Structure 1
Amino acid sequence: MKRRDFVKMAGLGATAAAASTVVNAPFVHASKKTPIRWRLQTYAGPALAEHVIKPQIDAFNKIASGDMVIELYNADQLVPTPELFRAMQRGTIDAVQSDDDSIAAPVDVAVFAAYFPFATRYSLDVPTLFNHYGLNEIWQEAYSEVKGVTWLGAGAWDPCNFATKQPIRSLADLKGKRVFTFPTGGKFMQRFGVVPVTLPWEDVEVALQTGELDGIAWSGITEDYTVGWADVTKYYLTNNINGAWVGSYFANSDKWEQVPEHLKTLFKVTMDSSNYYRQHWYWWGEAHYRTKGGKLELTTIPEEEWAQVEAEAIKYWDEIAATSPRCAKVVQILKDYTETMKKAGKPYRYA
């Protein structure tokens, strides 16, 4: 082939390729799928959501590369927290991060979510109970009986301590205190004179300032500083009624089934990543703010007096066990686990 003919043929080939690109471009563009879109609401307000879920959602959206986009909404932003379960069933929202107790999940095991009194001592107790003591299977069984919502998994958060405007140094000091807390934890602490108060999350700080609330039993000290409650309370009680909040992820069942398997896997992997982040964030924060926070004075109820609360909790466990065979099974697991931890000794249990 002569050089002139080669150049000529090459030019014709390039023209044809360019023409092919122009013709095919609209087809390639048109074939791109519309991304799956979810609206997920968390139990947490904006400052707290920055730690407990936003990094997860940001990572999911980035890795999903446009195949799926999750829009994150904070506490009560779309739906009041107590109505979240029903809203998810109806498809008003697609997914939820919360505890079963606060969203009024219609399952018997919901009572064990959030802060079931003295069920845990440390945050690692939660994944241990779910992954190695059978709670995963029990939760899956319970939610399989409810139409429209799929339970995706549980994780650990922070302990439950009182932050108050007046010091708490004895059980008598708890009497009459109006406290923002979770349903089950509040019901239990009524036995010691606490008055549980339910408010939208964003109203709590103002309620503390105006005197509508005397304190909160909704978190550990990390959240008190993170969300601003340390600015409107003065004292932090080191005794806690639970060592770790149990929260879960839920999705509308129809919406979950529409998600491809690789994106389901991605969502669960980012759930695990979020659970891991909270483990060390809270572990760091609970010690850091007790020793270096500078805003809250620490108070303690003597151990021999606080033992009355722990003893009453075991009575409460037995009352809950009597409500259903499944609840009885969970309570027995908690008792067996507690006994194992005590026998194991340090560092699992110090007393």
Structure 2
Amino acid sequence: MTVSSRRRFLAAATATSIAAGTANLPAPALAEDRRVWRLATSWPRNAPGPGTTAARLAERITTLSQGRLTVELHAAGELVPALEVFDAVSAGTVEMGHSAALFWSGKMPSAPYFTAVPFGLMPEGHDAWLTVGGGQALWDELYGAFGVKPFAAGNSGIQMGGWYRRPIGGLADLKGLRLRMPGLGGEVLRKLGAAPTTLPPGEIFTALSTGALDGAEFLGPWQDLSLGLNRAATFYLWPGWHEPNGSAEALISAAAYGRLPIDLQQLVAACCEAENRRGPAEAEWRNAAALARLKDDGAVTLHPWPDDVLQAARQESEAVLAELAGTSALDRRIHDSYAVAKGLFVPWGRVGRHALLGAQIGA
């Protein structure tokens, strides 16, 4: 065999040996590292506000992880009913959910604190309480008992007071009023004689337009118009004392989250934080524009809540929160932590934000 032939023989043998060895190796680590999560939401698909926030969150995680963590979005009812998202995440039926904490008050009385408290913190203050004031640790503890890791992930901003089929002229008009108002605000109105209920967002329009409900609140003008609530009722009340904040939440199976490598855990957290920053900015802009359109709609009557309703609701809110605080030691700690935050922000707001707004409008 010539030198040239011997070299060709050795090269071919080496290539064959490498190919055979490679065939016995496991698949590349990158392929093994790819995961698919199902994200179930409480919102109609692409519903402005929380629906689009959930969609962006799924897309952001998928894109920034370069497909290592693909998040598949499933709107309300596609995998699980809108108000069963928490249970689905807790049971591991889905790895991730997007919803609002006020829906889980039957399971955890203090859960609504992590969306909104009547006459409570507005978006900036609520975010400060979670981020700096110890609220996130309490939230983690509350949901951790169910195997769920929560993140703030979006915010629909300050709410409106809802749509009503007839005028609300005072406390007497609340007696027997059938309305959609979940969370602690609903409990306050129950004490004032109303009959509140919790409905998924996708069912509000039908219930209001058919007269099954006398009134209903959802979010702000932008999101309310997207559901067509202005076509179901004509009296639109303000302010949204029952929900001065509109935090949405990403619910993540603690087991699934724990199986992620640390860089993907941090990526998920960062994507939630990004949506939590974008949400209120988007809501502020869109709500202002939608309110301007409503003011030009001759069929809609914009009206403030009567003073006697606001005064009574403020008093009953304190009673509702005090009663809730007695449920358990953890409920007491959540109540007290939130109260400390509100005690800081109200005096600061009086000389800061509220004073500036008053000066802005000449009040």
Alpha-carbon separation, structure 2, partners of 1:246 and 1:57: 18
Closer, same or farther: CA 250–41 of 1 in aligned 2, 3 Å: same
Q: What stretches of structure 1 move > 6 A for 4+ residues in a row?
A: 18-29
User: Are 1:37 and 2:36 matched, yes or no?
Assistant: yes
Identity of aligned residues (%): 22
Aligned to 1:3: none
Closer, same or farther: CA 181–108 of 1 in aligned 2, 3 Å: closer
SS class of match (1:163): strand
Q: Any gaps of 5 or more consecutive residues in structure 1?
A: 1-14
Contact preservation (8 Å) 1:320, 1:327: yes
Contact preservation (8 Å) 1:100, 1:113: yes
User: Are 1:109 and 2:95 matched, yes or no?
Assistant: no
User: Are 1:96 and 2:97 matched, yes or no?
Assistant: yes
Alpha-carbon separation, structure 2, partners of 1:50 and 1:139: 23
Matching residue's letter, 1:90: A
Contact preservation (8 Å) 1:127, 1:155: no
Closer, same or farther: CA 202–107 of 1 in aligned 2, 3 Å: closer
Quote the offset at 1:50 in angstroms: 4.4
Alpha-carbon separation, structure 1, partners of 2:26 and 2:155: 44
Quote the offset at 1:348 in angstroms: 3.4
Aligned to 2:222: 222
Quote the offset at 1:56 in angstroms: 1.8
Alpha-carbon separation, structure 1, partners of 2:303 and 2:354: 22
Deviates more, 1:297-306 or 1:18-27: 18-27
User: Are 1:158 and 2:162 matched, yes or no?
Assistant: no
Matching residue's letter, 2:247: V
Contact preservation (8 Å) 1:179, 1:215: yes
Alpha-carbon separation, structure 1, partners of 2:41 and 2:283: 18
User: Are 1:347 and 2:352 matched, yes or no?
Assistant: yes
Alpha-carbon separation, structure 1, partners of 2:217 and 2:325: 24
Deviates more, 1:23-32 or 1:202-211: 23-32
User: Are 1:171 and 2:171 matched, yes or no?
Assistant: yes
Quote the offset at 1:151 in angstroms: 2.7
Aligned to 1:287: 288
Cα offsets for 1:277-320 (capped at 9, x unmatched): 11111222332222233443211124465222112212222112
Task: Give RMSD over aligned pairs.
Answer: 3.3
In structure 2, which of residues 319, 330, 335 is the aligned counterpart of residue 315 of structure 1?
A: 319
Quote the offset at 1:237 in angstroms: 0.4
Contact preservation (8 Å) 1:101, 1:183: yes
SS class of match (1:39): strand
Q: Any gaps of 5 or more consecutive residues in structure 2?
A: 1-11, 359-363
Closer, same or farther: CA 316–192 of 1 in aligned 2, 3 Å: same
- TM-score w.r.t. structure 2 length? 0.81
Quote the offset at 1:139 in angstroms: 1.6
Question: Equivalences for 1:202-241 in 2 at 5 Å?
Answer: 202-240=202-240, 241=242
SS class of match (1:47): coil
Quote the offset at 1:334 in angstroms: 3.1
Aligned to 1:193: 193
Matching residue's letter, 2:132: H
In structure 2, which of residues 294, 304, 321 is the aligned counterpart of residue 300 of structure 1?
A: 304
Cα offsets for 1:137-180 (capped at 9, x unmatched): 21222233x14322344653333421122233433333322212
Quote the offset at 1:22 in angstroms: 8.9
Quote the offset at 1:54 in angstroms: 1.0
Aligned to 2:271: 270
- TM-score w.r.t. structure 1 length? 0.84
Alpha-carbon separation, structure 2, partners of 1:226 and 1:158: 16
Quote the offset at 1:324 in angstroms: 2.2
Closer, same or farther: CA 37–177 of 1 in aligned 2, 3 Å: same
